[in-house]
Homo-oligomer: A and B are copies of this chain.
């Protein structure tokens, strides 16, 4: 999760919502990404989607069997769906997102009968740092002088 937090900090430095994600297999990082929706003009360019796409290129498959995803914020419905399609084994996430999440919040996608693959879910990993990054980012956007 330390590497995912680094990606989140790098996203904040680019003016993007600070969320970072890492895909690992057997403890080794095979892809890492931060949110780039603004830079790429791409509403699908969440950290999880970019990390999954890069990992699929790295392994040469659309399925990441035996791979785990570490992300600083609870995934939204779009990313939770992508995680399921990619057959991610374990999902570790930091802060819960009651307003936009879809794992332990909102539609709780992995508990639905229409979900065909659910990862094991480990919430609250690196939660304090993940949440503080997001709070500081949005505080600074509301009051540009607060981060000075």
| A binding-site residues for B, Cβ under 8 Å | 37-38, 40-45, 49, 52-53, 56-57, 60-63, 76-82, 85-86, 98-102, 105-107, 109, 112, 114, 116
B43 touches A86 (CB 8 A): yes
Instruction: Select from chain B the residue with minimum beta-carbon distance to A114.
Output: B106
The minimal Cβ–Cβ distance linking A130 to chain B, given in whole angstroms, is: 19
Q: A43, A99, A106 — which one has the most chain B CB atoms within 10 A of its CB?
A: A43
Instruction: Select from chain B the residue with minimum beta-carbon distance to A46.
Output: B85
Interface of A is mostly: loop
Q: A38, A40, A41, A53 — which one has the most chain B CB atoms within 10 A of its CB?
A: A41
B43 touches A82 (CB 8 A): yes
Report the separation of the CA atoms of residues A39 and B79 in the bound assembly, to the nearest whole angstrom. 21
| Smallest CB-CB A-B distances: 9 pairs | A78-B81, A43-B85, A106-B114, A77-B81, A107-B107, A43-B86, A43-B62, A77-B77, A41-B62
B85 touches A56 (CB 8 A): no
Q: Among the listed B49, B80, B102, B112, which residue makes an inter-chain contact with A44, where contact means beta carbons less than 8 Å apart?
A: B49
Q: Which residues of B have CB within 8 Å of A78?
A: 77-82, 85
Given A62-B43, A107-B114, also A77-B56 (CB < 8 A): no
Q: A42-B56, A102-B114 are in contact. List 9 more A-B contacts (CB 8 A).
A: A37-B85, A40-B62, A41-B57, A42-B53, A43-B62, A77-B77, A77-B81, A77-B109, A78-B80
